[in-house]
Structure 1
Amino acid sequence: MSPDKIPGNPARNPAEFFALPGHSLLAMDGPDALAFAQAQFASDVTALAIGHWHWSAWLSAKGRVIAVFALLRTGEASLRLMLPDHDAGELGDALRRFVFRRKVAIAPRPDLHAAGAFAAPAAASGSVLAGAEDAAAGLELDFGAPGLPRTLRLAATPAVEDPVAAEAWTVADLRLGLPRLAVSQREAWTPQQLALDRLPAFSVKKGCYPGQEIVARTHFLGKAKRELLLLQVDDAADAGAEVSQAGKPIGSLASVAGHAPRWALAVLPLERGDEPLVVGATTVSPQAFVEGLAR
C-alpha cells in the first residue's frame, strides 16, 4: 500500500483522520491495576514503562484467544486497552469477574474516540506514546511500519466517518499481521496459530495467566503444528471459510477484510502438500506480510 494514497479513496489526504468503527477503549486504574493485568493478560505487563504501549491478549483457560489489543500504560497505576474488535463494556464485565479483592477499577471510556490516518505520527514513535487523554489532540500511537505508516489517535472529538478508509485500515491490519477477530472466531485459535509472537503479544517467561501452561508447552516442546498465512481471496470468502488442498479441507480463514480482492489471514498446517491452496472456487497464493508492527 502506497503511503501517498488510500486504496479506493485516492481523494482523501492520508494525513486526515477518519473514525475507526468498532474500536473502543477500556480503562484500568488503581493500585492493583498492573498486578491484576499481569495475572490476566498474556504479555509481560510489569515490563511496560509509563508512556509506552505494547501488544497483548486475553486468553481462555484453554489457551484460546479471546481478544487481541494494544495495552497502554498511561500512568503509575493506569492502563488502557485499545480494543479493535471487542466492546469495552462487554470485556470489562468479563474481566471484573476475576477482580475479587484487588483494588482496581475497570470501566469503558466512551468519551475517547479512535481515529486513524495513513501517515506517520507527528510525535509518537514505536512503542512510545505521545499526547495525553485530556489534551485537545488526545493520545497518539504509532500503529504502522516503515512500509505502511499509520497513526492511531484517541481523542474526545470524533473524527469524520469514512467507510472506505476504515475498511482500508482493517486490510492494513491484516497485511501487518494483526488478527481482526469476529465474534465467531473468538476462542477458536491459540496465540501461536495466530502468530501473535510476531507482534509480540504473549510471553512464555512471565508468571501464570489464563492459558499460560498450554502456551508455554506449545512453545518449549515445539508442538505448534499450524501457521498463519496472508492470502488474497475473492469477495465471497468470509471468516471461517475453508481452505482446501487437493480437494480436502486443511484449514480456515480467521480474519477477512476488503473488497475485490479481499485479504485474509488463514490458519493452515505447517506440513502440507505442494498442491495449490483453494478458497471456495478460487486458487490462492500466500502473500508477504508487511513487517514492522512489533512493539
Structure 2
Amino acid sequence: MDGPDAVAFAHAQFCNDVAALPPGRWQWNAWLTAKGRVVALFALLRTGEQALRLLLPDMEAEELAQALRRYVFRRKVAITPRPDLHASGRLAAPLRAQGPVLDGTEEDDLELDFGGPALPRSLYLSRRPADADAAQAEAWAAADLRLGLPRLPAAQREQWTPQQLSLERLAAYSVRKGCYPGQEIVARTHFLGKAKRGLVLLRVPAGTVPGAEVAQAGATVGTVVSAAGHDPRLALAVLPLERDTSAPLQVDGAEAVPEPFVEGLARA
C-alpha cells in the first residue's frame, strides 16, 4: 500500500496534548485554522525524547512543514519532510505493536497498530520502498472509513470542525489544552453543547465522490467528505446528529444506506 508522507519535527501547537505523549507511543491529532476548521488530520508519533513524526494521509509533507515553520521563532527546531521513509500496510494484526504503543525505534523500522479488534491492520515505516498495490490501497482506504477515519482531499480542507468530523471517536482533539489555533471555537462548541452535526458511514452509489450532497425527502441534509471502495462504495458524510430516520437518505438520486462504524481506532 502506498502510505502517507512523514514529517519529523520537535515542537508545534496542535489540538491534542503533545507534552503528555511519552516516547514510544502515538496518537491522532489535527491542524486547525483560527476558525477551528480542520486543515489536516494525522498520526503523531513520539519516537524519542526530542523527536516526533507526523504521518499525513492526505496532505503533502512540505506543505504542512511550511505552515508549521511560521511558529518556530527562535526555538532550535527542525521541521523536515522525510522522503527517505516509506509507509506500507497490511490488513492483519500487528506482530508486536498494540494500541498506542509503537514497536521499533527512531533508527529501525516502526510498526503501528492501525486498526481495531474487528478490523485489524498494521502500518509499517521503513526506508525500503513499498510495492504499489492499487487494490490493497483501495481496501485500506475503505477500512479507514469503516473505522471512522475521515480522509480529507484538498476540497474538503478547512470546511469542518473537529466535532463535525466526529474526531472524538479517535481521541484526536482536546478541549482542556489551550494555545492552539481554533482552540476557543472547539472548546466553546464542546462546553455549550452546540455540535449539531457529525459523521455517518454510508453505503453509497458507485460514482459517489467527496463533495456530493446527501438528500432526504427532497432536501439537502449533508455533504460527503470521504469516499472509497468498490462493491460496496463507502462514504463518510457530515449529517445532522438529530434527523428523521424514517425517510431514506439519497446521494445522486440513489439510496444511501447507513452502516455501523467499526470501533477500535482511538488512540490516547
Question: Given the two structures, how large is their TM-score scaled by the length of structure 1?
Answer: 0.88
Equivalent pair of 1:256/1:263 in contact (CA under 8 Å): yes
Q: Which position in structure 2 is the counterpart of 1:20?
A: 2
Equivalent residue in structure 2 for 1:287, among 217, 237, 259: 259
Q: CA deviation at 1:43?
A: 0.7
Q: Which position in structure 2 is the counterpart of 1:9?
A: none
Equivalent residue in structure 2 for 1:203, among 174, 177, 196: 174
Q: Which position in structure 1 is the counterpart of 2:143?
A: 172
Q: What amino acid maps onto 2:177 in structure 1?
A: K
Q: CA deviation at 1:227?
A: 1.5
How far apart, in 2, do the equivalents of 1:248 and 1:159 lie? 45
| Pairing of 1:24-103 with structure 2 (within 5 A) | 24-28=5-9, 33=10, 36-37=11-12, 40-103=13-76
Q: CA deviation at 1:183?
A: 0.4
Deviations 1:205-248 (A, max 9, x none): 11220000000000000000101100011112100000001101
Q: CA deviation at 1:264?
A: 0.4
Instruction: Report the secondary structure of 1:70's partner residue.
Output: strand
Runs of 4+ in 1 over 3 A off after TM superposition: none
Equivalent pair of 1:27/1:107 in contact (CA under 8 Å): yes
How far apart, in 2, do the equivalents of 1:154 and 1:118 lie? 15
Q: CA deviation at 1:134?
A: 2.5
Q: CA deviation at 1:261?
A: 2.4
Equivalent pair of 1:234/1:260 in contact (CA under 8 Å): no
Equivalent residue in structure 1 for 2:100, among 119, 127, 133: 127
Structure 2 portions without partners, runs of 5+ = none
Instruction: Report the secondary structure of 2:79's partner residue.
Output: strand
Equivalent residue in structure 2 for 1:143, among 101, 114, 135: 114
Q: Which position in structure 2 is the counterpart of 1:238?
A: 209
Q: Which position in structure 1 is the counterpart of 2:86?
A: 113
Q: CA deviation at 1:270?
A: 1.9
Instruction: Report the secondary structure of 1:259's partner residue.
Output: coil
How far apart, in 1, do the equivalents of 2:142 and 2:36 lie? 26
Deviations 1:94-126 (A, max 9, x none): 111221122211000111100001111111111
Structure 1 portions without partners, runs of 5+ = 1-18
Moved more, 58-67 or 258-267: 258-267
Instruction: Report the secondary structure of 1:189's partner residue.
Output: coil
Equivalent pair of 1:229/1:266 in contact (CA under 8 Å): yes
- In the alignment of these two chains, the number of paired residues is 266
Question: What is the aligned-residue identity percentage?
Answer: 64
Equivalent residue in structure 1 for 2:154, among 183, 202, 209: 183
RMSD in angstroms over aligned alpha carbons? 1.0
Equivalent pair of 2:2/2:131 in contact (CA under 8 Å): no
Q: Which position in structure 1 is the counterpart of 2:197?
A: 226
